[in-house]
Amino acid sequence: MVAQDARLAGFQQALGYAFSDVGLLNQALIHRSHGEPHNERLEFLGDGVLNAVIAAELYQRFDALKEGELSRLRASLVRQEGLHQVANTLNLGEHLKLGEGEMKSGGHRRPSILADALEAVFGAIFLDGGFAEAQRVILALYGPLLTSLSAGTVTKDPKTSLQEWLQARRRKLPTYSLAAVAGEAHAQQFAVSCVVEALGVSAQGQGLSRRAAEQQAAAEVLKQLESRFP
């Protein structure tokens, strides 16, 4: 118990927040595979808090951007990849409580589990210290990602761009299908195909998530289309 408390004290220091009710932090770090009570309700709450904090910050930083542009920018920060990146800076996986099966399969390194747990931690901070404290912690942790942003980085993702390219020419939308999944459970690699059948164009993308693989495949298809139909 003492060793566990020491680890949690170190984690809170890295987090930049000291819990009044450490029980909330403990629950935030319990995956459902470990048993009840787990962190899914806190994850739900933290997701809402994170979206509100990032939305407010982007609204303040980029007063010239339209709603759709702000939404895309927010999505780039709060999706799994961004959360996973922040979770790794905290060594969050070392503090998770997982079931035996998840432990053996490397669940403490799995991006989806780490992303969900970080949202649960944000939810726990909100309950323990209120919105202002959750906002402070989130903005501090997201500081490097926020600093790297500029209005010029706001671009449409490849899937959206491909869809708009096809719709402008009254063509059917592409179809995406999962081609393969490889690797260990904690580090799976997805392969997805994107096909525009009417124009005879297709490509395959790869990524650590199905979404990332779809985006890569869409980008390659769009590149082919723009080359063939300038």
Give the active site residues.
Answer: 47, 119
3-state secondary structure of 2: helix
- Count how many Cα atoms sit within 13 Å of the Cα of residue 172 in the half-sphere of its side chain: 11
Count other Cβ atoms within 10 Å, centred on residue 224: 16
3-state secondary structure of 113: helix
Torsion of CA 72, 76, 79, 85, to 10 degrees: -170
